[in-house]
Amino acid sequence: MPPSRVRVVAAVLAAALLLLIPGEAWAIRPFVTDDARVVGGRLGQVETWALVNRRSLSHNLLFAVGPTRWLELTLGLTHGGVHSGNDRGYSLTGPIAQAKALLHEAQPNGWPGLAVSAGLQAPFGFGPLLPSGLGAFGYLAVTESLFREALLLHANVGVAAADVGAHWTVGVTAGFGFQARVVGGFHAVAEVFYGDPYDPDASVPSTQVGFRYIFSDHVQMDGTFGTSLARHAARGAGDPGTEQWGTLGLRVVSNPLW
């Protein structure tokens, strides 16, 4: 093989090996329980995930940027189709706007990380996935890092409110989740949560289990299966019952943008 071709092959193999080295492991959407971290100063981030259940298939996009090492600003939208129930058709909704501040960075085997977040969900767009009104949320996120980040524990508590026309409804949101390294970049994830800051209509206890694969500090992938833990009447779904769903997500973090 010519020397130039050997160099090209070696460079490709080296890049692939670097991609497979596990980096920092943190909770992200489609996890509802958030982590006490921000994307980082001058960095950008794209989080995207698909969610499928018995009545719909939706795709979510979040774009975040770190103006400083302790602040993260996020904009997002949702689109997808509802194929069963009383309401059917394609939807496009958004934006979700969120600001998140890191109060204390998690120290491995030390003090937990603390972050606060607040945001708005505008009822713009069309289709059956459109929120019933303007939404607002805020929560405190705590992350404990143990065993050199082999085990991460996340806890959230907050409130979510929605303007339903004549009045505002306000509900509590809470969640607890963990992420445990199994081998290499492969992690097991699970959570239990009540409510969802991004969905003021969610008001039942639920759980998700799944996996997270950390390819590098820049790329990771997630998959989860979730179910509600109580019967409820989902909007447009008809009779009360439990709800099951599956998700598949991807997170990409940039190099410094400026």
- Minimal CA–CA distance to 60: which of 211, 202, 244, 198? 198
Q: What is the pTM of this model?
A: 0.86
pLDDT range class, residue 23, cuts 50, 70, 90? very low
Scanning the structure block, which residue is given the tokens 């992690």?
A: 187
Say yes or no to pLDDT of 177 above 90: yes
pLDDT of res. 237: 58
pLDDT range class, residue 85, cuts 50, 70, 90? confident
Query: How would you class 241 by CB atoms within 10 Å of its CB: exposed for 0-12, middle for 13-18, buried for 19 or more?
Result: middle
152-176: pLDDT as tens digits: 999 999 999 998 877 889 999 999 9
Domains annotated for the chain, with CATH where assigned, are 3-253 (2.40.160.40)
Residue with the larger pLDDT of the pair 132 and 101: 101
- Minimal CA–CA distance to 185: which of 16, 20, 68, 30? 20
Backbone phi, then psi, for 92, in 5-degree steps? -140, 120
Q: How far is it, in rounded angstroms, from Cα 142 to Cα 106? A: 9
Q: What is the per-residue DSSP string for 145-188?
A: EETTTTEEEEEEEEEEEEE-SSSEEEEEEEEEEEEEEEETTEEE
- Minimal CA–CA distance to 72: which of 48, 95, 100, 96? 100
Contacts of residue 74, defined as CB under 8 A and 6 or more positions apart, other chains included, come to 62, 63, 64, 96, 97, 98, 99, 100, 119
Scanning the structure block, which residue is given the tokens 């409110």?
A: 161
pLDDT of res. 14: 37
pLDDT of res. 234: 63
The stretch 109-129 carries a mean pLDDT of 95
Of the listed ranges 126-130, 196-200, 231-235, the one predicted with least confidence: 231-235
Residues 41 and 183 sit within 8 Å (Cβ to Cβ) = no
Q: How far is it, in rounded angstroms, from Cα 251 to Cα 93? A: 21
